[in-house]
Structure 1
Amino acid sequence: MTNTQVAKLLAKLKSQKNAKGEIARQFKAVIKGSTEHQALLDQMKIISLQIDETEAALKSIEYANAEASTQARPEQEINSDQIAFEFLEPSEIWNGAFKIDIIDNPFLDTWYRYLEHHTHTPYHQDAWLRLIQTQFGHRSILLLATNQESQILGGLPLTLFSSKLFGQFAVSIPYINYGGPISQYHNINQALIHHSHQLLKKFNLSHVEIRSIQADLYPLYTSKKASMILRLPESNEALEKNLGAKLRSQYKKAEDYQPKLKVGKEELLNDFYQVFSHNMRDLGTPVYPKSFFQAILDEPNIQSTLLVVHLANKPVSAAFLIGNNNVLEIPWASTIAAANKKNMNMWMYRQILSFAIEQKFMFFDFGRSTIDAGTYKFKKQWGAEPRQHYWYYVMPEGQALPEINPNNPKYKIFIALWKLMPVWLTRWIGPSLIKHIP
């Protein structure tokens, strides 16, 4: 640990203690038992936890320095342009007073103007919440943190779910990989999640699920999943060298079957959906409606692309790509099982990486995987590095974590039966089910 990092921790600790003092002084101006009093208590708990964490970090450094027997290599400073912007974590602490409101209408111009100047994922923009509302009928809300001058300090968008099958709950943000609070202040992000506890009673929810890549925001979380991120070289030639002989041999075997690649938008939607829905049936998973993907392609504020691989004029592999600044992400991809035996999935991913380089993206996001699972290892072989996910759960004390996913044993029979259905039937009834599965 460098002296610079120790100095940063000491400065952070000083800032946190100043913030605690500022909060303590505000208790004189509020009535005990009031909403304002409870908000200050919550803020005091958060800042006290932060102080404990910082002091623990300093103690661990002292211990490590005392135990070190060899000189460590100096740590390399990482420039912000070396990492995908949406994976940067806030390090600042807000020292002043603030409040958090529940906003029933999440489409606030002031909120989206705030996002224009702050780090956020592509899924925090209003286009995504509108898609969720129009395509699936779910209502969204916004937790908004503001200072005493009503300036926005951060926000947390949440979508409300209600069904007889899965009950009532909220998610930030459903159907995709990234959600959670947005603020340049770490303690504001923490406070937003803590405040979501009020939603349980207000909307009669069983739980609130917050999908984030930021650590240390709330005590109850799971960290089984990670995004796999590849730093792209500047040329395909450089990528080819990086991939290694074994990997190259796998995707080059596919060329014996003369696959054809098509890149486009709406004109490839039918081919994409044919492959995607077929694969979802084989996995035992209800499929999204085709209109959902059409709506994404139609949205001018979302940089989307379809890529389809054909064999003998039939689509066999397909991917839905979303670009955002310097990152190209693949939220949805499928290959028909018979074509997978011909290495078409490997070949498709190699073409996608070429496309990403040609389009001048700096990073390729392979998407989310359970750590050490098959898909995780598949992505790792391309050179991708894991970026930890933290899924936070706000729920009544003592309640078991929700498992609305294929790993839940009670869904095994349903999954097995779904795999036996004809694809046309799954396309018909699948959308009415998947809308309730975030």
Structure 2
Amino acid sequence: MGMEMPEPRLDVSKHRLDELKECKGRLSRQIGEAKQSDSNADRLIDELKQVSDEIKQLQKLLKQQLNETRSAKKWAPGTIEKPPAIANKITSGAITVRSCADDDISAVEAYLAEHPAASVWHLPAVSRFIKDTCGHRARYFCAFDETHNLVGVLPLVQLNSRLFGNFLVAMPYFNYGGVLADNREVTLKLISHADQWRREVNASHLELRFCQDNALGLPQKTDKVVFWLPLPDNVDDLWDSFQPKVRAQIRRGQREMTELSIGGPELLDEFYRVFAVNMRDLGTPVYGKDFFANLLQALEGQAWLVVARINGRAVGCAFLTGYKGRMEIPWASTLRRYNHTSINMSMYWKVLEFAVQQGFDVFDFGRCSQDAGTYRFKQQWGAQPLKLYWDYVLPDGEKLPALNPDNPKFRLMIAVWQRLPVMLTNLLGPHIVKRLP
């Protein structure tokens, strides 16, 4: 590899500066000699002043050129294009849809590996995890063409309770999970079969969680966003891309944080202690410990736990997943009484380091509302907000569901929950939260 050549105008500026410095030195000696011989040095002094002024101007210009060169070469996160959930491929003959059989699993996994919009939550292993851990009914619809090639999938889960209602979601608990298909015809076939199941179980609606607007003509919610950050090849470029304020907060957290571990089930107890307290403080029912234990097992090799400690005490935690070049952080928590330490900033930085070192191309900061404080937290890392499009299949005349914490009827419940002992919320929470999408 040859030596990298400097920018032409930068090279010229440096050459001229060297000439002027030599001239300044020569004039200074001549002025000294003139004074020693009592000769008039006024002309030389005027010439020296002119040279000195030109040196200052050139040094200023050179500094500006150097900054421009560094800025041009500095890595910065680029724009991310959303991968299409519905392709524009031609399929062969009539499309048939049926529930995925055990013999179809390998074909489904191969299809997901090739589909650009597939997420880890589309994996059949996740549907089995929800069914086995939460006790919900789940169906994994597969679409085939007449040559028996798989051309589309739709994982679907039924949530049914007296408190929150009866409905279908693709996929609950997670940000992604709508239809993946080779074309629009396949998509409509899959949705039609899903709606038929909705009617069979008398569910109020079907929710499809997309990351893009697929123009299906369905009612939508678009009030949530996710943040994706493109990752460079090395952590130094990522560090240099941050604003000075972000770097300062990370350094502050690093002074406080004495240890951070990234691993598996061996960290579950510490992870859950922090997570459960934080969920209680937020007024949100907590998943059971078995939820995370079983999810780690279902996603073996594609999921990690993170625990941040101060003086041996776990004060921060996170759950990570990795699939097809994208690392996602679906859950993260820190204990509120340690917020002043900026421990969350140093923990996120270590997680981003880990993502780069593992070779991921994108880091997914997860979901939030556009006016939430977490929106600004995620944005400060240089991540790009991507609007989520959640489509709904509803009976005629029905309104969009309003099952969210901002609904006034849940505010009192949240306020009461925040005052309950953690031991009690850990006991009650898993029975409630598994009914929430």
Q: Which residue of 2 aligns with 1:265?
A: 264
Deviation for aligned residue 1:143: 3.1
Counterpart of 1:115, as a letter, is L
Residues 165 and 232 of structure 1, relative CA distance in 2, 3 Å threshold: same
CA offset digits 1:191-247 (Å, max 9, x no partner): 433543323321111001111113123421111112100011222211111002111
Q: Which residue of 2 aligns with 1:54?
A: none
* SS of equivalent residue, structure 2 residue 128: helix
Q: Which residue of 1 aligns with 2:200?
A: 202
Counterpart of 1:98, as a letter, is A
Give the Cα–Cα distance (whole angstroms) in 1 for the partners of residues 120 and 323 of structure 2.
Answer: 6
Q: Which residue of 2 aligns with 1:274?
A: 273
Give the Cα–Cα distance (whole angstroms) in 1 for the partners of residues 114 and 89 of structure 2.
Answer: 18
Counterpart of 2:249, as a letter, is Q
Residues 348 and 106 of structure 1, relative CA distance in 2, 3 Å threshold: same
* SS of equivalent residue, structure 1 residue 197: helix
Q: Which residue of 1 aligns with 2:237?
A: 238
Q: Which residue of 1 aligns with 2:182?
A: 184
Q: Which of residues 110, 135, 138 in structure 1 aligns to 2:136?
A: 138
Give the Cα–Cα distance (whole angstroms) in 2 for the partners of residues 143 and 424 of structure 1.
Answer: 39
Deviation for aligned residue 1:299: 3.0
CA offset digits 1:129-159 (Å, max 9, x no partner): 1110111001111333332334332121110
Q: Which residue of 1 aligns with 2:327?
A: 328
Q: Number of paired residues?
A: 357
Q: Which residue of 1 aligns with 2:336?
A: 337
* SS of equivalent residue, structure 1 residue 196: helix
Q: Which residue of 1 aligns with 2:83?
A: 87
Counterpart of 2:194, as a letter, is S
Give the Cα–Cα distance (whole angstroms) in 1 for the partners of residues 120 and 146 of structure 2.
Answer: 29
Alignment of 1:122-133 (within 5 A): 122-133=120-131
Of 428-437 and 255-264, deviating more is: 255-264
Give the Cα–Cα distance (whole angstroms) in 2 for the partners of residues 399 and 300 of structure 1.
Answer: 37
TM-score by length of 1: 0.76
Counterpart of 1:103, as a letter, is S
Give the Cα–Cα distance (whole angstroms) in 1 for the partners of residues 333 and 143 of structure 2.
Answer: 40
Counterpart of 1:138, as a letter, is H
Counterpart of 1:435, as a letter, is K
Deviation for aligned residue 1:96: 5.7
Counterpart of 1:420, as a letter, is R
* SS of equivalent residue, structure 1 residue 420: coil
Give the Cα–Cα distance (whole angstroms) in 2 for the partners of residues 177 and 161 of structure 1.
Answer: 16
Q: Which residue of 2 aligns with 1:381?
A: 380
Give the Cα–Cα distance (whole angstroms) in 1 for the partners of residues 79 and 128 of structure 2.
Answer: 29
Deviation for aligned residue 1:100: 4.5
CA offset digits 1:36-70 (Å, max 9, x no partner): xxxxxxxxxxxxxxxxxxxxxxxxxxxxxxxxxxx
Q: Which of residues 75, 95, 98 in structure 1 aligns to 2:94?
A: 98
* SS of equivalent residue, structure 1 residue 177: coil
* SS of equivalent residue, structure 2 residue 159: strand
Percent of paired sites with the same residue: 38
Answer yes or no: is 1:390 the counterpart of 2:389: yes
Q: Which residue of 1 aligns with 2:49?
A: none
Give the Cα–Cα distance (whole angstroms) in 1 for the partners of residues 164 and 100 of structure 2.
Answer: 23
Q: Which residue of 2 aligns with 1:315?
A: 314
Runs of 4+ with >4 A deviation: 82-86, 104-107
* SS of equivalent residue, structure 1 residue 308: strand
Residues 306 and 156 of structure 1, relative CA distance in 2, 3 Å threshold: same
Residues 362 and 149 of structure 1, relative CA distance in 2, 3 Å threshold: closer
Give the Cα–Cα distance (whole angstroms) in 2 for the partners of residues 300 and 365 of structure 1.
Answer: 17
Of 361-370 and 109-118, deviating more is: 109-118
- Work out which of the two has the higher radius of gyration on C-alpha atoms and give 1 or 2: 2
Answer yes or no: is 1:118 the counterpart of 2:115: yes
Structure 2: which 5+ residue stretches go unaligned? 1-77
* SS of equivalent residue, structure 2 residue 341: coil
CA offset digits 1:288-309 (Å, max 9, x no partner): 0101111122235451111111
Give the Cα–Cα distance (whole angstroms) in 2 for the partners of residues 94 and 192 of structure 1.
Answer: 16
Deviation for aligned residue 1:94: 3.8
Counterpart of 2:319, as a letter, is F
- Is the CA contact 1:98–1:145 (under 8 Å) kept in the aligned structure 2? no
Q: Which residue of 1 aligns with 2:9?
A: none
Give the Cα–Cα distance (whole angstroms) in 2 for the partners of residues 106 and 381 of structure 1.
Answer: 44
CA offset digits 1:112-134 (Å, max 9, x no partner): 44434434211111110111011
- Is the CA contact 1:194–1:218 (under 8 Å) kept in the aligned structure 2? no
CA offset digits 1:347-384 (Å, max 9, x no partner): 11111111111112111110111124221111111000
- Is the CA contact 1:176–1:331 (under 8 Å) kept in the aligned structure 2? yes
Give the Cα–Cα distance (whole angstroms) in 2 for the partners of residues 416 and 282 of structure 1.
Answer: 10
Residues 116 and 93 of structure 1, relative CA distance in 2, 3 Å threshold: closer
Residues 89 and 198 of structure 1, relative CA distance in 2, 3 Å threshold: closer
- Is the CA contact 2:86–2:180 (under 8 Å) kept in the aligned structure 1? no
Structure 1: which 5+ residue stretches go unaligned? 1-81
RMSD: 2.2
Give the Cα–Cα distance (whole angstroms) in 2 for the partners of residues 300 and 256 of structure 1.
Answer: 33
* SS of equivalent residue, structure 1 residue 256: helix
Q: Which residue of 2 aligns with 1:148?
A: 146
